[in-house]
Chain A
Amino acid sequence: KNEVEQSPQNLTAQEGEFITINCSYSVGISALHWLQQHPGGGIVSLFMLSSGKKKHGRLIATINIQEKHSSLHITASHPRDSAVYICAVRRNEKLTFGTGTRLTIIP
């Protein structure tokens, strides 16, 4: 079993829908990162969380340390949100990555 599990692996939705991507991990961590990787390959850091909730524009990330679970939500999704979303956990200076969720938003 991977240390970091993401679900779903693939998600297709209509423009405007509310999107949720989940990340579960099995080890103690100091922080959790959400990353976005565009089709061209570039990686953008969206959030870094160690507790609670963070919001940036239409994106919201939450983490429950006791449950070892984090969610990334996108409100009013748009085709430009189409990308791979990757969860990564930090432990002892090292990041361990999930396999990513490929999100496709259809106009």
Chain B
Amino acid sequence: DSGVTQTPKHLITATGQRVTLRCSPRSGDLSVYWYQQSLDQGLQFLIQYYNGEERAKGNILERFSAQQFPDLHSELNLSSLELGDSALYFCASSVTGGSNEQFFGPGTRLTVL
């Protein structure tokens, strides 16, 4: 158990809908990262937050947004969902950022029908 929690574990929804994925980092970790793992693209970095502020941005679509709250939990919002958004979404956390080890949550499996 990495200490990172993600909810829900599974999510099935329809095209055009909006969903919110939640991540709670390990106690004491200030950085949260979001990743997408799809069959065709593999693992991709989406976005990083550090202590409430956006730190780095990767291949995140405009339909997706994220935030980190004062209690350091983070949410990833996916809107106008398309079939191709079906993937595993992982959250990871680290103490600060930079070259710190990252600890991964169990992931949320999103299926868009």
Contacts and interface: CB of A to CB of B under 8 A. Distances in A.
A binds B: yes
Interface of A: 30-31, 33, 35, 41-45, 48, 50, 86, 88, 90, 92-97, 99-100
Nearest to B102: A45
A78 B44 CA distance: 29
Interface stretch (B13-21, B69-77, B78-86, B104-112): B104-112
* From A35, A90, A94, A100, residue with most partner B Cβ within 10 Å: A94
Given A41-B88, A45-B102, A48-B99, 4 more contacts: A42-B104, A44-B2, A86-B43, A97-B43
Given A86-B43, A93-B55, A97-B42, A45 B101 contact: yes
Given A92-B56, A93-B55, A93-B56, A45 B42 contact: no
Interface of B: 2, 33, 35, 42-45, 48, 55-56, 58, 88, 90, 92, 97-104, 106-107, 109
Contacts of A45: 101-104
Given A41-B107, A42-B107, A43-B90, A94 B45 contact: yes
Contact of A93 (B90, B98, B109): B98
Contact of B106 (A31, A41, A93, A99): A41
A14 B28 CA distance: 42
Nearest to B59: A94
Nearest to B106: A42
A23 B60 CA distance: 25
Contacts of B58: 94
What 4 A-B pairs have minimum CB-CB distances, sorted nearest first?
A93-B56, A97-B43, A43-B104, A31-B99
Nearest to A29: B99
